[in-house]
Structure 1
């Protein structure tokens, strides 16, 4: 293929990733191509096994079935790996984003050094890929997400406060563990979760021009979508909103400073405050280990009506709303989305968050709700990691099969 044709093929693949299923005329119109030009491009993608036709049920008694184009859901897979201080998640996805397999393994405390945690993550990844091999699917790429400042270009973690890592070449480590089987990329968990949310909203027909996804996992980071594209900032380090100072001389943060938003609305802070203020004391030996276990513990207590936990969650929600308002003051997105474990705690966080959010906004949007809860669960970053591996094909970073 020529260079220009190559770009058009990649553009068609990219458009179907975000907007499929589409008819051939719809795809051609979106790409600004004639039917004669569109057909060979579609045929090329179908020959590669990346795109297939779906037959839809006709409307009414006399209509003919309409063939729609979408990503092929049977031949290939992409994998997302999320590495955290308390757990490693590996999710295998079809090209349309259907989750084929999920594996969650806790990370032991002594594994929080880079080599130990990488070995643990590699074992989880190989466990997932063994299942993939049994199903006969071909792996197209692996995306890896970590909470912290990530240089996606070099695949290096510049600083991950919850892990205590600096300048860790994690992408190279995962690629070595994978043995060159497929391309590997690395990015911040908020960026990757934002990509997953963007595709979900596009395929659901929701507004997607601008949004900010706030993580609810190991720290508060923002995945920023501007002009329909992921915005990384000048050095690729945008979005660490959890370390905005919101309280002068406030609580000490893991970053070494005081008064960061993370100390009031981050999951570790929420869990600690809720358990400290719980009306019913914890039984000996029942201290939750890790963010996920802690979230489930306080959700259970909130559901049972524990007054101390409910009060602490309301306070955390108010701080979260103020933080979201600061994000809006700086970036003016249409929507701020609370994701990760915030979605699990939304029944108790959302109302106070929205109240403080509206009070803090300079110019609220009266015609729609700006603060929403993600439609994705705590696996958003893993799903976004897999999606990023797929988008790397459409961006020409990884070779087409």
Structure 2
């Protein structure tokens, strides 16, 4: 079993590298000799390397930093969405090595059939990575729904009609490769990617709420540096918070849910009711978003009004989350990132107006720079977290 101090050092480098040895020792609270021994262990395994640092100000001599080694291993993320499969492969530092996106048959909702398509795309991608002679450490698989991450079972994916699907077992069988497979929701994976990006950029604060902004609204929640799942793994299904008791009908059978005002489908419907039928299919939804963006860019008043209204409701929903969770930041992900020029300002204004004591400080409200690839990046990163948590042996 790997020494706990080695894993402590690895976790610190995952989150904060590159970092100098003295700073690393202070961060993990270990003696210099212990840090040195742990670093040497990780270097022998090909997980950590020395990197050039900044000048320390004494005769211009540069410091030597430590970071994850980008040359030996690969981490794969696979996202199974409603209408497409996304696969990306990353280095240990999160550098994207390759990515592919394939549209799948919209009528394919059968888990086995969809998994076969997803596995074919993943095999093709990994075949290209194998040419670089990198060792694959694992695959994270993202789905847009409720997941029991402890068993790899998908409890419910409304957009695919899946109930109690043993996805981890299915992925392992479909892939036919002997590597660890991790299953979780798109929101939980995406918030991991956001957390790491903020930490590596030196941004303080570890409490984050990430809103998916894809086919529904789900939240990935990080508090105390960990993804918060709740007692039954159901935390984060915020799209069906009721904001208006007598509001618009929702697909869940109730009225006035968050999604009916700020969801992507609701936004498209408000901008152009005639697009409702075409946007009901996944391919039609993607085309409707493109059309909406084009209209807004051309100054179409109805499109811009719908976007402003959706932003306002995003702010109101975010205020509820802020009151419940008090995060440092709320991040709008997925398709919301494409809509930033029109939704972010009204969302921030509405958030401020809806808070009980806005002047005491409110969470930052930002748009993700990762767009629709956030869940895929986070799925790959989860493999690295699994290593650092001693849930699988280090290479």
TM-score tier (shorter): over 0.9
Q: Which runs of 5+ in 2 are unaligned?
A: none
CA shift for structure 1 position 367? 5.1
2:382 corresponding residue in structure 1: 388
Aligned mates of 2:55, 2:218 — CA distance in 1 = 45
1:131 corresponding residue in structure 2: 128
Aligned mates of 1:61, 1:241 — CA distance in 2 = 53
Aligned mates of 2:57, 2:15 — CA distance in 1 = 29
Q: Secondary structure at the match of 2:19?
A: coil
CA contact (8 A) 1:217 1:291 kept: no
Which of 332, 339, 364 is the matching residue for 1:345?
339
CA contact (8 A) 2:73 2:135 kept: yes
Q: Which runs of 5+ in 1 are unaligned?
A: none
1:165 aligns to 2:155 (yes or no): no
CA shift for structure 1 position 74? 0.9
Aligned mates of 2:317, 2:310 — CA distance in 1 = 11
Q: 1:292 to 1:12 in 2, by over 3 A?
A: farther
1:306 corresponding residue in structure 2: 300
1:335 aligns to 2:332 (yes or no): no
CA contact (8 A) 2:195 2:206 kept: no
1:236 corresponding residue in structure 2: 233
Aligned mates of 2:266, 2:184 — CA distance in 1 = 24
Aligned mates of 2:291, 2:204 — CA distance in 1 = 35
Q: Secondary structure at the match of 2:199?
A: helix
CA contact (8 A) 2:106 2:282 kept: no
1:266 corresponding residue in structure 2: 263
Quick check: 5-14 or 125-134, which moved more?
5-14
The residue correspondences of 1:88-107 to structure 2 (distance < 5 A) are 88-107=85-104
CA contact (8 A) 1:162 1:254 kept: no
Aligned mates of 1:24, 1:106 — CA distance in 2 = 46
1:253 corresponding residue in structure 2: 250
Q: 1:290 to 1:153 in 2, by over 3 A?
A: farther
Deviations 1:89-133 (A, max 9, x none): 101110000111110111211212212211111111112111111
Aligned mates of 2:184, 2:325 — CA distance in 1 = 21
CA shift for structure 1 position 325? 0.9
Q: Secondary structure at the match of 2:303?
A: helix
Deviations 1:214-236 (A, max 9, x none): 11112111111112221111111
Aligned mates of 2:163, 2:181 — CA distance in 1 = 20
Taking only aligned residues, the RMSD between alpha carbons, in angstroms, comes to 2.2
1:399 corresponding residue in structure 2: 393
- TM-score, normalised to structure 1, is 0.93
Quick check: 85-94 or 362-371, which moved more?
362-371
Aligned mates of 2:359, 2:77 — CA distance in 1 = 35
Aligned mates of 1:256, 1:138 — CA distance in 2 = 47
